[in-house]
Amino acid sequence: MKNQRVFTRLAITLLLLFSAIASFGASSHALAQAADCATGAAGASPEASPTGGGGASPVAGAGVNMAFVPKDIVNNYFANSFKGAQEAAGETGGQVQQVGPDTPDAAGQVQFIQTLTQQGVQAIGVSANDPNALAPALKDARSKGIKVVSYDSDVAPDARDVFVNQANSEDIGRIEVQIISRLIGCEGEIAILSAASTATNQNAWIDFMKDELTKPGYEKVKLVDVVYGDDKPQLSYDKTIELLTAYPDLKGIISPTTVGISNAAAALEAEGRTDVMLTGLGLPNEMRQYVKNGTVKEFALWNPIDLYYLTYYVGQALVNGDITGAEGDTFTAGRLGSYTIGANGTVLLGKPFIFTADNIDQFDF
Ligand code: RAM
């Protein structure tokens, strides 16, 4: 709670600072448009700070009993960020738990969903390792009156009520390509180190990365491979080494997964490959050392604690009948303010934020 407040205060300070810099026409590293290589196309714009919503005062509602089933419970992105759900439930008298497999595994997730359905929780939040493999179990839960909120990585739309998206998928995908292309001087071979090949979120981002690369300005940037570390630390490390071996001229790696980028950074550091640029989506706390020693110059993310916080409030609003998940439904999510359900039952947390050596020490997640 205290850390969260400090973070919010810091974020507001940063927002004001960045607005001031922008209004004086100076360039800020964190706000710099990443689209230096693309010609004739506006780049996706990163957020000034990774906060969401309108900042309204917390409004208590009737708390509900909600369970979260992340891709796995070991990954810090999920394990540490669950405190956002605890914070939200604490504000309204709700109850939350987080359960799931030790490694990212759709079959393991199904078992937890079935158990939660038998226990009769009121809402399930889920980040899918596979959009379709989880669908039957989630549909069964819904048929028994349980509200299903996917977050982070969506399931098949007819298997959930609402999807809480951390940031626009297109923004995320394009920003990654813009950053790596600029870092390699708009020329050279790049590769992608992803999570599971079935992960909904990474696959959506990769589609936009590929599309971005078709734009004018990227003619000399060549995507040579997409490999999968399955969000397993050792496998992600090994896949990075394999890329370095298979493509001796490799200039850059994009890893749109916190497990992937941190282990790719470790591999590059161990191999002394300062000539290979790395960017992607990472947790500031896992990336700090690599940013400080120069292995990684820039990477992006949103605030995953806020993602959990918002997801709890969506579950609560669904259970209490404040929303049905229809486009245009509105609800209030405590300190994040009010949100409106968009097309396809999706709620958007905010924009991705770019972390650099200049700002990374201001974040603790
Ligand atoms: C990993 C997971 C998660 C993704 C982040 C960026 O922790 O794959 O789903 O959103 O990276």
Q: Give me the amino acid identity at 188.
A: G
| CB atoms inside a 10 Å sphere around CB 99 | 15
Query: If one looks up domain 65-166+303-350 in CATH, what number appears?
Result: 3.40.50.2300
Q: Is 71 a pocket residue for ligand 1 (Cβ < 6 Å)?
A: yes
CA angle (214, 219, 208) in 5-degree steps: 25
Residues of the chain with CATH 3.40.50.2300: 65-166+303-350, 169-301
Model pLDDT for residues 162-186, shown as the tens digit of each residue: 999 999 999 999 999 999 999 999 9
Q: Average pLDDT for residues 136-161, to the nearest whole number?
A: 98
Choose which residue among 68, 69, 71 to substitute to test ligand 1 binding: the one with the highest number of ligand atoms within 8 A of its C-beta: 71
Q: Is 195 a pocket residue for ligand 1 (Cβ < 6 Å)?
A: yes
How much is the pLDDT for 4?
A: 47
CA of 146 to the centre of ligand 1 (A): 25
Whether residue 23 has pLDDT greater than 70: no
Q: Is 152 a pocket residue for ligand 1 (Cβ < 6 Å)?
A: yes
Q: Is 257 a pocket residue for ligand 1 (Cβ < 6 Å)?
A: yes
Q: Is 169 a pocket residue for ligand 1 (Cβ < 6 Å)?
A: no
The gap from C-alpha 238 to its chain's centroid, in whole angstroms, comes to 23
Q: Estimate the share of the chain in helix, then strand, then coil, as percent rounded to the nearest 5.
A: 40, 20, 40
> What is the Cα–Cα distance from 9 to 15, expressed in whole angstroms?
10
Model pLDDT for residues 231-290, shown as the tens digit of each residue: 999 999 999 999 999 999 999 999 999 999 999 999 999 999 999 999 999 999 999 999
Whether residue 3 has pLDDT greater than 70: no
Model pLDDT for residues 287-310, shown as the tens digit of each residue: 999 999 999 999 999 999 999 999
Q: Give me the amino acid identity at 193.
A: L
How much is the pLDDT for 49?
A: 59
In this prediction, residue 138 has a pLDDT band, given cuts at 50, 70 and 90, of very high
- Tell me if 169 sits within 8 A of 154, measured CB to CB: no
Token pair in block for residue 325: 């998940």
Question: Percent of the chain scored above 90 by pLDDT?
Answer: 83
In this prediction, residue 190 has a pLDDT band, given cuts at 50, 70 and 90, of very high
Atom of ligand 1 nearest to the CA of 301: 6
Choose which residue among 77, 171, 283, 306 to substitute to test ligand 1 binding: the one with the highest number of ligand atoms within 8 A of its C-beta: 77
Model pLDDT for residues 70-97, shown as the tens digit of each residue: 999 999 999 999 999 999 999 999 999 9
Strand ranges for the chain from DSSP E: 65-69, 95-98, 123-126, 147-151, 162-167, 188-194, 221-228, 250-255, 277-280, 299-301, 330-332, 338-340, 346-350, 353-355
CA of 244 to the centre of ligand 1 (A): 23
Whether residue 34 has pLDDT greater than 90: no
Question: Percent of the chain scored above 70 by pLDDT?
Answer: 84
Model pLDDT for residues 52-72, shown as the tens digit of each residue: 444 444 445 699 999 999 999
Q: Three-class SS of residue 255? A: strand
Superfamily of domain 169-301: Response regulator (3.40.50.2300)
Atom of ligand 1 nearest to the CA of 282: 6
Q: Average pLDDT for residues 151-169, to the nearest whole number?
A: 97
How much is the pLDDT for 292?
A: 97
How much is the pLDDT for 35?
A: 57
Report the mean per-residue pLDDT for the chain.
Answer: 89
Query: Which residue's CA is minimally distant from atom 3 of ligand 1?
Result: 257
In this prediction, residue 36 has a pLDDT band, given cuts at 50, 70 and 90, of confident
